[in-house]
Amino acid sequence: MRYYGEEALGMVETIGMVPALEACDKMLKAAVVELISYENVGSTLVTILVKGDVAACRASVDAGKRAAEQIGKVTAANVIPRPIRIIGDIVSCHDVDIY
DSSP 37-65: EEEE-SSSEEEEEEEE-HHHHHHHHHHHH
Smallest distance from the beta carbon of 79 to another protein, in angstroms?
A: 19
What's the sign of the alpha-carbon dihedral 45, 79, 24, 69? Answer: positive
x/- letters, 8..47, toward another protein (CB under 8 A): -------xxxxx-xx-xx--xx----xx--x-x-xxxxx-
Contact residues for another protein, defined by CB under 8 A: 15-19, 21-22, 24-25, 28-29, 34-35, 38, 40, 42-46, 71-72, 96-97, 99
